[in-house]
Structure 1
Amino acid sequence: MKKKIFAVMMSLVLVFSLALTGCGSKEESSDQPAETSADSMKVGFIYVGPIGDGGWSYAHNEARLYLENELGVSTIYKESVPEGPEVEKIMRDMIDQGAKVIFATSFGYMDYVEKISKEYPDVKFLHCSGYKDGENMSNYFGRMYEPRYLSGVVAGMKTQTNKIGYVAAFEIPEVIRGINAFTLGVKSVNPEASVAVRWTHTWYDPVSEKAAAESLLDEGSDVIAQHQDTAGPQQAAQEKGAFSIGYNTDMKEMAPQAYLTAPVWNWGPYYVKQVKAAMDGTWKSENYWGGMEDEVVQLAPMTELVPSEAVQKVTELEGKIKDGSLKVFAGPIKDNEGNVVVKEGEVLTDEQLLSMDWLVEGVEGSIKK
């Protein structure tokens, strides 16, 4: 009797084991587990400005739409979110709505993203333009200083007064690096030119940005560049009969009589790559800083207002940047107080670029410390 009972029990165990094995085989053979399918993947985006700004937030939002189209995932977004504690609530709300990946797209969100990422280890957080990371938190940015340099070449060959204005947001390494790269581009083709900087202490304020550009124009600048999110400086240049270098997106339509070109962002392919990795289980935290060779940063098409010799020069230099033979921050480089900050034969490291707190020779302005 015991043998029969034992035999029956063994039979039941065998049947149960086979059933489990069958279930396991079915799960393993699935190309895409249900929890990571496109239908169940929701991605959140947080913007510091309105998506209609025509600049920074607009570029990120265009990439969000590209992501939806490429992968078929659903997305949610919140625009005009201040760089403060409010962003914590926004992230929690997105997670409550089912977001499994969140892109926070402004520097001032960094500490808050780090805090929330530790509270939600199963959610992937990607922070733009910062430097902190964690097991489920990446930071990402692009080497915008590369097309900035090229846009400086355009400005240097276009100016007639040898005075170029630059409307800048905040005295942080990202902005300072851009001013310096632009000025190095200007000086490489026009040693007599200088770049005057006006700080607005805002990312998105059309009125103050335009006013800053107007003051630079009144002082003799005939080309205006910017590290701002609106087209205010472009419009000021057009109204004064001057020329302009945009930023973030192709701003030709905003000031067609003034616009020359712009360093622009192309976030879409990066967003697709990161979300796809999250879906298939291969996502890993990283510090990403792509350049022109990745096409995450580009120089927008130059308009007919750009001299033909400038177009030829930029085309030549762009190829050198992409193949690595031209390094924007290769010495010798002096700061605007006359000190040698990069010696002959040296090239700034990424760490030095990311902590830049000085202005190159040729910049008229200062940094509050």
Structure 2
Amino acid sequence: MTKKWTFSLTAILLMILTACSGQSTTTSTTTAPNASPASTQAANATPSSVEKKLPRVAFVYIGVPGDGGWTYEHDQGRLMLEKELGIKATTVENIPEGPDAERVFEELAQKNDIIFGTSFGYMDPMYNVAQKHPKVTFLHATGYKTLPNLGTYMGREYQSAYLVGMAAGKMTKNNHMGYVGAFPIPEVIYTINAFTLGAQSVNPDIDVSVVWSNTWFDPATEKQAAISLLDKGVDVLAAYQDSPASIQAAAERKVWGIGNDSDMGRFAPETYISNPKWNWGPYYVQTVKSVMDGTWKSSSYFGSMKEGITNIAPLGKNVPADVKALVEKKKQDILNGTFEVFQGPIVDQDGKTRFEQGKKMTDEEILGTTWFVKGIKGVIPK
């Protein structure tokens, strides 16, 4: 009995000492008498435990992701954004360039924090709406007008076009190639120029005939434009539209075809060479992150192949190995910064020297291109 009482007394003394010790090191938190559990948790939370509110993001598409080209690649970028940042973005498809676009952007601006417009013709509608909603961040693909809350973004697709042109120059037999242009705007013009310069770098006798479809996605119209060139006897056909209509038309004539925007090899596997390819995901992720952390500033982004925003699709299965090796070598030169596509001498289709030997075109000069290089047959409408 004595040992049991002694043990109990000792235990009680230890408990008292422990309690006193705990009181001396514990910091008490004062809570308002009527505070809710939620407000109490917020008061006790550390800054790192409070998640930032995710922004509301919207994308406006000129076409549909099923086009297999331009809109498809932008939508792939959206999916990457959603996966990496946990954002569920709003998408609006098939919005024509014009008054309807401005109405759509106005409606989205009332419900979203960040809006991406993915076609050149959205420029003025986005500019007008951005002026009325200074707290909303607008990003416009391929345009040139900016505001404190409106930036632009584009990639140096001409680097990819040059490489594809090299492959095309090695594949032609009669030195006559064709190109279906979308609209006569600098983005399309300098891409056709780069393609032609790439082809001429391996075969100086090449000429490129250009016709305009004045469409971004209209398979029927684009196929007719392609046929007009095929009827002239071109044996390589390239195009700058969102649909695979042109390379499908070329395949029907057993002519080499070059697509645009995304890997279009599946549409004409036997006669496919390659095409420039976009990768918008990293840009979308980084841009939204910068808006979220408050570091975003309006700018005109012009990303390069080195940054991964543009590349070339895998060369077709019937393109010879030596051609693939040649293109890969030049690609490495571009990535290493040892080769510039638009570096003189550059002569226009009228025989005028635009840039002397060794002179590089500036970004402003590239983005303002309104003339064709030597070897191109076609007119740029005013």
Q: Same fold (TM over 0.5)?
A: yes
Question: Per-residue deviation at 1:37?
Answer: 2.4
Q: Give the conservation status (yes or no) of the 8 Å contact 1:88–1:112.
A: yes
What are the within-5 Å matches in structure 2 for residues 107-118 of structure 1?
Answer: 107-118=120-131
Separation in 2, partners of 1:230, 1:118? 34
Once residues 312 and 101 of structure 2 are traced to their aligned partners in structure 1, the CA distance between those partners, rounded to angstroms, is 32
Q: Are residue 89 (structure 1) and residue 106 (structure 2) matched?
A: no
Residue number in structure 1 paired with 2:60: 46
Residue aligning to 1:147: 160
Name the residue aligned to 1:130: 143
1:304 to 304, 311, 317: 317
- Cα distance in 2 between the residues matched to 1:68 and 1:352: 36
- The alpha carbon displacement at 1:308 in A equals 1.7
Change (3 A) 1:37 1:228: same
Rounded to whole Å, the distance in 2 between the matches of 1:199 and 1:232 is 14
- Contact 2:270–2:317 under 8 Å retained in 1: no
Mean Cα deviation higher: 109-118 or 141-150: 109-118
**Offset at 1:123?**
0.8
1:352 & 1:29 partners in 2: Cα distance? Answer: 51
Q: 1:56-67 residue pairs with structure 2 within 5 A? A: 56-67=70-81
1:167 to partner: Cα distance: 0.6
Return the match for 2:340 from 327, 347, 361. Answer: 327
Residues 157, 307 of structure 1: 8 Å contact kept: no
Is the Cα–Cα contact under 8 Å of residues 234 and 259 in structure 1 kept in the other structure? yes
- Deviations 1:244-296 (CA, angstroms, capped at 9, x unpaired): 11110000111112211110000001000011111222222121000100010
Q: Residue 288 of structure 1 corresponds to which residue in structure 2?
A: 301
Counting matched residue pairs gives 347
Tell me, what secondary structure is at the counterpart of 1:259? coil
CA deviations on 1:220-257 (whole Å, 9 max, x unpaired) are 11111111110000100111111111110000111112
Aligned partners of 1:42 and 1:160: how far apart in 2? 53
Asked if residue 342 in structure 1 is aligned to residue 368 in structure 2, the reply is no
Per the TM alignment, residue 32 of structure 1 is displaced from its structure 2 partner at its CA by 8.0
- Rg bigger for which structure? 2
Call closer, same or farther: CA 1:93–1:218 in 2, change over 3 Å: same
- Partner of 2:238 in structure 1? 225
Match of 1:7? none
Which sections of structure 2, spanning at least 5 residues, go unmatched?
1-30, 33-38
CA distance in 2, matches of 1:29, 1:286: 35
Match of 1:268 among 281, 286, 291: 281
Match of 1:160 in 2: 173
In 2, Cα distance between equivalents of 1:95 and 1:342:
44
Counterpart CA distance in 2 for 1:193 and 1:27 is 73
In structure 1, C-alpha distance between the alignment counterparts of 2:174 and 2:241, rounded to whole Å:
24
What SS class does the counterpart of residue 74 from structure 1 fall into?
A: coil
**Separation in structure 1 between the aligned mates of residue 344 and residue 48 of structure 2, nearest angstrom:** 51
Q: Paired residue for 1:361, among 352, 361, 374?
A: 374
Distance 1:239 1:269 in 2: 37
Structure 2 vs 1, CA of residues 33 and 354 (structure 1 numbering), >3 Å: closer, same or farther?
A: farther
Q: 1:351 aligns with which of 338, 348, 364?
A: 364
2:53 is aligned to: 37
AA at the equivalent of 2:322: E
Q: 2: CA distance between counterparts of 1:280 and 1:196?
A: 49
Identity %: 44
- Structure 1 residues 80 and 32, CA, compared in 2 at 3 Å: closer, same or farther? farther
User: What is the SS of the residue equivalent to 2:257?
Assistant: strand
CA–CA separation in structure 2 for the residues paired with 1:286 and 1:253: 37
Aligned-residue offset at 1:95: 2.9
Q: CA deviation at 1:341?
A: 0.6
* Match of residue 256 from structure 2: 243
Q: 1:254 corresponds to which residue?
A: 267
Q: Which amino acid is 1:51 matched to?
A: P
Moved over 4 A (4+): 25-29
TM-score, scaled relative to structure 1: 0.90
Query: Residues of 2 paired with 1:33 and 1:105: CA distance?
Result: 33
What letter corresponds to residue 112 of structure 1 in structure 2?
P
The aligned amino acid for 2:283 is Y
Which residue type is aligned with residue 177 of structure 1? Y
CA shift, 1:65, in A, is 1.1
Shift of 1:88: 1.7
Amino acid at match of 1:30: P
In structure 2, C-alpha distance between the alignment counterparts of 1:110 and 1:91, rounded to whole Å: 11
1:170 to 183, 195, 205: 183
Query: How is 1:183-202 mapped onto 2 (pairs within 5 angstroms)?
Result: 183-202=196-215
SS of equivalent to 1:63: helix
User: Is the contact between residue 57 and residue 113 of structure 2 (CA under 8 Å) also seen in structure 1?
Assistant: yes
